[in-house]
Amino acid sequence: MMRKSRIIYKITALVATLCVCAASLVLCPVYTEQPDEWTFYDIKKADDGYQLFSNHIDGYEILLPADMTIDMSCANICAMAFGGDTRIEIYRQDLAGGSAEGYIAYSNKFAADSEITVKADEFADSEEKVHLFIWSRKKLSRLENDMNYYASIDITDEKSDAVFSILVKSADIIDSYSDVDYLVKSFKPAYRVSEEAASAKTQLTDFSERGWNLETQEFYREYLSDVTKGLAWGIFEPDTANFDYSTLRRYEEYLDYSFPVILHYTQAETSPHSNLAERLTMAWNEGKVLELTFQMTPLDAGNMMYEVLDGEYDEFLENYAAVIADFGHPVLFRPLNEMNGDWCIYSAYHTCKDTEVYKAVYRYIYEIFRGQGALENTIWVWNPNSKSYPDFKWNDAFMYYPGDEYVDVVGLTAYNTGTFYSEYGEAWTEFSELYDELYEDYSERFSQPLIITEFACAEFGGDKELWMEEMFKVIAGYDRIRLAIWWDGCDWDAYGNVARSYFLDSSEETLATFKAGLHGEITGAPTKGFSSAYSAEEQQRLAKELAASKLAALRAGTTIEENRHEGRTDTRPSWLEHRRDGSWGYSEEMLEAFNSDKEKRE
């Protein structure tokens, strides 16, 4: 390519990055250096106020308004253009044997939301290769220059077995096809130079510039930033959220290990959180820092993401942040995790395919924390799911990245779900299969510390002890993983049976294997914080005590609750009534006893 053109590309890219930063519209990680391969796209001046944009990664060319800035910072996902009150995103979705109809229909399911007004849902051509979808939602009062008018153009290219999706967002009304027809008329598939784009790392802000208090700085240094300190472990033990640390203490006694971090979940509510201050304080008094997860689940027929950006949760969020600020000690704050999964209402699947809504909410919460003084002791964890559901380009995890200013730590999450639901495609997956590629990808993209925010191995479908052994061997090679948190719980099926059992003590052998990994018997290197080991006799005694205590609790007073599947009822332990995840450890003896009792009742 000519030298003059290469200069134009670099200047354009630099302007794009500066404009993005100035507008606080961080679309993907802000790069400290630009990728070298600027031959991946081309921009030429065209007539009548347009510029011809050629994307050689995804293979197309299209006319865009000349006053729009082209952004290729997420070139391996999409091309973006923005200017004034309009933003355009262009994706190439390879169908890989799927159907264009299925892709389009699933992508537009959000339209069932009562707050969405659809203006057009039709084909723009006689051959039904160009699908047009125009809609709007209400303006959001807390979102400056809210682009609440949308048009989605899906162009099917049978030759390449792909759909090219053009998503237009505007603060001005989009009335009809005539408002966007120039995009369709000028679009044409073109030669692809490469399917891969160069990537660069995000910027890492020095923790001394974060404004953290000294205690938070020390925690960050000890457990997150200092690679010489070794891997630390955390745990999700659900009863701790209800101020019962007895099971956790028995775990720690048996394992001879004190978990420095425990995982708790909280939800957005209409009134101040009932016990957040008490949870934080008790955990700290037990020597634990909370990985405090903040999620949203539907409380009514509306969309909570829109309601947050309309100020309806200001009182709750301000109180929540004030409690954390008053607490004063370090908190690993993980808001709106697994956002690229359609089971989360804060996924773009539920917000018009618009990941900007997620980023706006994330930043809005961040600014509320700033206003309440809570940034001094919060370490912000941004945490997508390992795979996107749906696995469409517009739902790619990196389209949700809120910007370097808002992310202190990047989280990884992937589970071996086992084969309980094999008929739905679930399979036994080794730790290396879950994390090798994910770790490599995140290591290339992010400069922030990496942690595994939650993970575990299910019981059904393979050898859990061997899985754990491989996990300890593999994770020892992930130098940038500073903390890993085991999720000691389970998922239940529709009949109240344990479906995915993630418990450390699902058998004495699994518990012993986990301890061996902590002790360094598997890798030859003890885990950070591991102290002297108990004798074999003491280990066996403690393991039996753990199983016995959980079995006693499982058989304790029960309540009958309606099972929604075919009108059946199941007797479930009373502690399930107030626990969202329904988690509890069990051994084979415990599960056998529970199911035996269940059969007798039926």
Write the pLDDT tens digit of every residue in 502-512: 999 989 999 99
- Which of 82, 90, 71 minimizes the C-alpha distance to 147? 82
Inter-CA distances, 500 with 418, 426, 459, 488, 548, Å: 7, 11, 7, 11, 21
CB-based burial label for 65 (10 Å; 0-12, 13-18, 19+): middle
Q: How high is the pLDDT of residue 548? A: 53
- Strands in 56-139 per DSSP E: 60-65, 69-71, 78-83, 86-94, 117-123, 130-136
DSSP assigned state of 527: P
pLDDT tier at 333, thresholds 50, 70, 90: very high
Non-local (6+) Cβ contacts of 512 within 8 A are 539, 543
Structure tokens at 158: 């049978």
pTM: 0.83
Percent of the chain past pLDDT 70, that is, above it, reads: 79
- Which of 479, 504, 500, 482 minimizes the C-alpha distance to 491? 500
pLDDT tier at 270, thresholds 50, 70, 90: confident
- Residue 478 in this model has a pLDDT that exceeds 70: yes
- The DSSP annotation for 84-108 comes to TTEEEEEEEEE-TT--HHHHHHHHT
- Residue 33 in this model has a pLDDT that exceeds 50: no
Inter-CA distances, 65 with 9, 50, 86, 166, 409, Å: 17, 4, 10, 14, 38
CA 589 remoteness from chain centre: 35
Helix, strand, coil shares, percent, the chain, to 5: 35, 25, 40
Write out pLDDT tens, residues 149-169: 999 999 999 999 999 999 999
Beta pairing, strands 60-65 & 188-189: antiparallel
Contact 174, 151 (CB under 8 A): yes
- Residue 215 in this model has a pLDDT that exceeds 50: yes
- Residue 140 in this model has a pLDDT that exceeds 50: yes
- Residue 310 in this model has a pLDDT that exceeds 60: yes
CATH architecture of 3-189: 3-Layer(aba) Sandwich (3.40)
Q: Which amino acid is at 503?
A: F
- Residue 400 in this model has a pLDDT that exceeds 80: yes
- Residue 588 in this model has a pLDDT that exceeds 90: no
Contact 457, 472 (CB under 8 A): no
- Residue 578 in this model has a pLDDT that exceeds 50: no
Non-local (6+) Cβ contacts of 82 within 8 A are 19, 25, 68, 69, 71, 88
Inter-CA distances, 274 with 279, 319, 390, 493, Å: 10, 11, 35, 29
Q: How high is the pLDDT of residue 227? A: 81
Q: How high is the pLDDT of residue 15? A: 38
- Residue 586 in this model has a pLDDT that exceeds 60: no
Q: How high is the pLDDT of residue 531? A: 45
Task: List the CATH code of the domain at 215-531.
Answer: 3.20.20.80
Domain ranges of the chain: 3-189, 215-531
